[in-house]
């Protein structure tokens, strides 16, 4: 996002435009008036990444205008980043500038921070990292009290750890999450909290058991588990599975079972089309779950046709979408069996065209 687009004074008008556009796109599905969750105006991003530009002795964070890869724009301030990242950026740059071991062929820096005060920095290079680099990196990590990862082609060097631990308070309860370097996490912690609380409020009266697809690191899974007897959560990415399993144990949650399956494989298992050895890890046979609610938070491509057909068998679908276009495409099919009872908009990415959506769909009565 170009820094020129950051305009706190005009935030309300920008948000109103996005809300109107999204409501217009979803109007054919008779969505109710949305509950709207705005973002903080600044300091909301817990992740940031920058290319590094070398010019003689100078070293700068830079961004590039769209379509102009040879026109670097130096970044001296990044007001949308959280306070920890904003404070660390200039100090880290000044530390790296005179350090030939750490700055040689450094081309990118990534920051991952938490509301609980931990930060992880990734330094990416166009050269192999050696013992001298590792020694210098350890000194850097101690200086700034950060976890550190060095990356080059086919090489990853971890200094202390490659994750941070987040603590979020959701509806009065604190939850611990593990966030691994380069694994997906929600970038806007404040809006993420609103998303989780909305999902929990939507699920509070459902009861029974829950099927969750695309559970990631357990972002929604942990708080949702308070509202169901059992939760069957599925995810494909290994790092996300590892993070979610850690979080389940760390938060002492005993009614969540995780299984490493893609959404397409879950559909095949639910339809009895394939047997998966991984299902043997479940505490009870798949058919013994009383799954009457499904929660989905799919990637930008939305749900595939087979998964849409599968979730249409559930009385209640709670759908969080990062792409209103594919949500609208999916609702064409879902609207045949379900109707939208609740609708929410979450401004996860202020000053951009992006809008996160949440809909609750309930099965239509037989005609």
For residue 1, count CB atoms less than 10 angstroms from its CB and return exposed for 0-12, middle for 13-18, buried for 19 or more: middle
pLDDT at 201: 97
Q: Where are the domains of the chain?
A: 3-41+188-363, 47-164
pLDDT at 2: 57
110 is catalytic: no
pLDDT over 90 (residue 10)? yes
Over the chain, what is the mean pLDDT?
94
Q: What is the pTM of this model?
A: 0.93
Token output for 340:
């939208």
- Strand partners of residue 152: 155
- Catalytic residue selected from 215, 322, 339, 357: 322
- Catalytic residue selected from 181, 235, 356, 357: 356
pLDDT over 70 (residue 105)? yes
- Return d(Cα 282, Cα 288) in angstroms, integer: 11
Annotation: CATH topology of 47-164: OB fold (Dihydrolipoamide Acetyltransferase, E2P) (2.40.50)
Looking at domain 3-41+188-363, which of 3.40.1190.20, 3.90.1150.10, 3.40.50.150, 3.30.1010.10 is its CATH number? 3.40.50.150
For residue 305, count CB atoms less than 10 angstroms from its CB and return exposed for 0-12, middle for 13-18, buried for 19 or more: exposed
**Percent of all residues in the chain with a pLDDT value above 90, rounded to a whole number:** 84
Average pLDDT over residues 339-366: 95
322 is catalytic: yes
In the 3-class helix/strand/coil scheme, how is the chain assigned residue by residue? CCHHHCCHHHHHHHHHHHHHHHHHHHHHHCCCCCEEECCCCCCCECEEEEEEEEECCEEEEEECCCCCCCCCEECCCCCCECHHHHHHHHHHHHHHCCCHHHHCCEEEEEEEECCCCCEEEEEEECCCCCHHHHHHHHHHHHHHCCEEEEEECCEEEEECCCEEEEEEEECCEEEEEEEECCCCCCCEHHHHHHHHHHHHHHHCCCCCEEEEECCCCCCCHHHHHHHCCCEEEEECCHHHHHHHHHHHHHCCCCCEEEEECCHHHHHHHHCCCCCCHHHHHCCCCHHHCCEEEEEECCCCCCCCHHHHHHHCCCCEEEEEECCHHHHHHHHHHHHHHEEEEEEEEECCCCCCCCCEEEEEEEECCCC
pLDDT at 268: 87
pLDDT at 309: 93
pLDDT at 252: 97
Return the minimum-mean-pLDDT range out of 46-60, 203-217, 253-267, 305-319: 253-267
Q: How many CB atoms are closer than 10 A to CB 43?
A: 17
């Amino acid at each position: 996002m170009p820094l020129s687009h950051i305009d706190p004074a005009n935030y309300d008008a920008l948000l109103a435009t996005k809300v109107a556009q999204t409501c217009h796109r979803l109007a054919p599905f008779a969505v109710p008036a949305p509950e709207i969750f705005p973002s903080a105006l600044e300091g909301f991003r817990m992740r940031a990444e920058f290319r590094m530009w070398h010019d003689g002795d100078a070293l700068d964070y830079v961004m590039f205008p769209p379509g102009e890869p040879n026109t670097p724009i130096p970044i001296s301030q990044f007001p949308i980043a959280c306070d920890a990242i904003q404070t660390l950026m200039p100090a880290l740059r000044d530390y790296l500038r005179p350090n030939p071991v750490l700055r040689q062929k450094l081309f990118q820096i990534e920051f991952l921070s938490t509301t609980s005060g931990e930060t992880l920095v990734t330094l990416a290079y166009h050269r192999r990292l050696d013992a001298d680099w590792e020694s210098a990196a350890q000194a850097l990590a101690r200086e700034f009290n950060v976890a550190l990862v060095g990356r080059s082609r086919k090489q990853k060097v971890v200094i202390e750890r490659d994750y941070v631990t987040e603590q979020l308070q959701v509806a009065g309860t604190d939850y611990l999450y593990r966030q691994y370097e380069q694994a997906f996490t929600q970038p806007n912690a404040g809006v993420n909290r609103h998303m989780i609380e909305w999902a929990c409020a939507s699920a509070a009266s459902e009861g029974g058991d829950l099927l969750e697809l695309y559970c990631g690191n357990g972002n929604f899974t942990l708080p949702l588990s308070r509202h169901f007897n059992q939760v069957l959560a599925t995810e494909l990415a290994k790092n996300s599975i590892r993070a979610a399993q850690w979080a389940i144990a760390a938060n002492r949650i005993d009614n969540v079972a995780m299984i490493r399956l893609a959404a397409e494989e879950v559909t095949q298992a639910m339809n009895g089309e394939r047997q998966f050895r991984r299902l043997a890890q479940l505490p009870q046979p798949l058919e013994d779950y009383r799954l009457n609610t499904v929660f989905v938070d799919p990637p930008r491509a939305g749900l595939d046709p087979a998964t849409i057909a599968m979730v249409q068998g559930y009385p209640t679908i709670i759908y969080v979408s990062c792409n209103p276009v594919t949500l609208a495409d999916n609702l064409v099919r879902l609207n045949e069996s379900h109707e939208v009872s609740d609708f929410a908009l979450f401004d996860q990415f202020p000053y951009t065209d992006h809008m996160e959506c949440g809909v609750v769909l309930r099965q239509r009565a037989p005609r």
